[in-house]
Amino acid sequence: MPKKDSATVTVTAPLPVRLRMASLEKVSPQRAAVVAEKLWYKVPAPSSPGRLQRFTPAGGEPFFLMSGQSEVQGASYGPVDGPVALLVHGWGGYWQQLASHIPALVEAGYRVVAYDAPSHGRSTHGAHGFGSGSVLEMTEAIDAVVGEFGRPSLVLAHSIGAMAALRDARRRPMAEAYIFFAPQIRLEPALTWFEQVVGMGPRTRELFLERVTSNAGVVPDDFDMVADVTRRAEKGPLPKLLVVHDEQDPDAPFSQARVLADAWPSAELMATQGLGHRKVIWHKEVVKKVADFIQPTH
């Protein structure tokens, strides 16, 4: 098994869940793996409609489309004939988390397309049922949005949204530029984080990973975006990339950002201090950096 990448989690599952996982680890790790799989797909409770509305910029054109079993909701901003800038939120997130970048993107001439993944924000649930989802569904949602609005010239993605964006890019030419905030680009750190959150033991972890990959029809290496990027770099130049990551991020190890930047020729890495996993998206210095980064593109 690959060496674990450490991250000190800021949240943990309720105590009864952790106690149950500890007990099942001893007597029936197979049952524990079933419980863990259900928890793995569980999406954190969405923000209230009032909060979503409060952080929704004025002037957007709402849209609705189907991705699998989910009705995906979103909004577009800016000129309809402009190059597409796609906003991709992370696990348990919603598109308004990236809304602070919309003014600069529109000013630069982009048509900004933002949406909620299945079981996130205002979108309905997908194949895993109410309140549950997966990175595979997040990838399919990107494909559905791109099918409606066209291939993006620029992609801004947070956390595991970066993984979904790069997985989707296997299906078509890559965008001209990418901006990743606190990217999750390997399965192993996410598994380690989840293991700590639910209190999963080593026997349960092995059986859980077997269940998840078998039921999803994929192998762990399918989620290794660093290996993916390395193969792409061997074949030709890669697009521009800006990675913004906080060195004290408790949920996504900063080391992953450095690994990605090292594997991506000419990538630029902006390290922040004390912003954590989410505030790094909208902090004023980050917003300014993004605005400066996109200027040479068009």
Domain boundaries, the chain: 41-186+224-297
**Distance between CA 6 and CA 265 in Å, rounded?**
26
**Nearest alpha carbon to residue 157 among 87, 96, 223:** 87
Residue 120 dihedral angles phi and psi, to the nearest 5°: -120, 150
CA atoms within 13 A on the CB side of 125: 13
Q: What's the pLDDT band for 296 if we cut at 50, 70, 90?
A: low
Which residues, other chains included, contact 32 with Cβ-Cβ below 8 Å and sequence gap of 6+?
A: 21, 24, 25, 200, 201, 203, 204, 207, 208
Q: Which numeric CATH code is attached to 41-186+224-297?
A: 3.40.50.1820
Residue 8 has pLDDT above 60, yes or no: no
Residue 111 has pLDDT above 60, yes or no: yes
Q: What's the pLDDT band for 44 if we cut at 50, 70, 90?
A: confident
pLDDT number for residue 12: 78
Query: Three-class SS of residue 174?
Result: coil
**Distance between CA 32 and CA 22 in Å, rounded?**
9
Q: What's the pLDDT band for 239 if we cut at 50, 70, 90?
A: very high
pLDDT, tens digit, 9 for 90 and up, residues 190-216? 888 899 999 999 999 999 999 988 888
Residue 97 has pLDDT above 70, yes or no: yes
**Distance between CA 61 and CA 111 in Å, rounded?**
11
Residue 33 dihedral angles phi and psi, to the nearest 5°: -65, -35
